Amino acid sequence: MKKILTVTLNPAVDNTYTTQTVIAGHVNRMRTVVKIAGGKGVNVAKILSQYGCEVAATGFLGGYSGSFIAGELQKRGVQCSFVETVGETRSNMNIVADDGYVTEILEPGPEITEEEQDKFMRQYTALLAKCGLVILSGSVARGLKPDIYVDLIRLAVQKKVPVYLDSSGESLRFGIQAKPDLIKPNVKELEFIIGHKLKDHEAVIEAAHFLHDQGIARVIVSMGRKGLISVSKEGTYWAKTAGIKAVNTVGCGDSVVASYAMSTVDGETEENAIRRACALSAANATTIESANIPMETAEALLHKIIVEKITV
């Protein structure tokens, strides 16, 4: 298969800290800090390359932070085709506390100029011709129109390249109008799309079916400790996570998306695809560094995931 293309419109350097607890309005001293190349699409690219997939990555990078991210991806064998920006790529803070809470402080990122946007669209169009699957992930940088994912999805459809979308808010709401092949909202994101609270498990499944019926081939809903729901033409599946101690949940959703991309390449059944996605996501949560899957842990968890086919 051709390369998998990941698109990250607002990447970031994730400075991940550990501490005992975080108290608002007080001095909080950190125990450790790790600097990680991040942003949802960057995370997906890292995982795919870790599993031996050929990956190209595009989006916007600028300044010292951008150079750091590009260097980390290149070390992993990812083809970097980012557009260089005048503005500095953002840096985020992920604070992992011993009490189980993860606090994220996210910068807005640079404002993308019209010239940079035009260059990116040309780059994206050229890359589509060389790739067999495209994954659009994360938030939209300032200066880009909120419905840019619609344009990117439609271009992929025109080139007959399958396209996944993993975003949130208005970017997701706009993006689903173009009917990507797969979306992966969490429950809160699904509620935003549907427009009301989903009070129970059945309501989540009903909402996923609604989106599937609108023309989205595969709807994957991530539910944290409750596992994953998948709705596709193969049916409705629920994968339940094994008992693990979560250290850092950042990147778990990206692990699901990367796993589904690999399952698509391998032609796996939906039952096997959701099982592997659940195992990789759970394994990701066991380490402080996001999107660096402990592969032995993932393999061990694979045999402990419970997958149930639900009759709707």
Which residues are the active-site residues? 254
Cα–Cα distance, 184 to 26 (Å, whole number): 37
Which has the closest alpha carbon to 119: 136, 144, 139, 94? Answer: 144
Which has the closest alpha carbon to 279: 248, 309, 258, 250? Answer: 258
Please name the residue that has the structure tokens 């427009």: 195
DSSP-assigned states of every residue in the chain: -PEEEEEESS-EEEEEEEES---TTS----SEEEEEEESHHHHHHHHHHHTT--EEEEEEE-HHHHHHHHHHHHHTT-EE-PEE-SSPPEEEEEEEETTS-EEEE----PBPPHHHHHHHHHHHHHHHTTEEEEEEESPPPBTS-TTHHHHHHHHHHHTT--EEEE--HHHHHHHGGG--SEE--BHHHHHHHHTS---SHHHHHHHHHHHHHTT-SEEEEE-GGG-EEEEETTEEEEEE------S--TTHHHHHHHHHHHHHHHT--HHHHHHHHHHHHHHHTTSSSTT---HHHHHHHHTT-EEEEEP-
Strands 228-232 and 235-240: antiparallel
- Are the C-beta atoms of residues 45 and 5 closer than 8 Å to each other? no
At position 241, the amino acid (one-letter code) is T
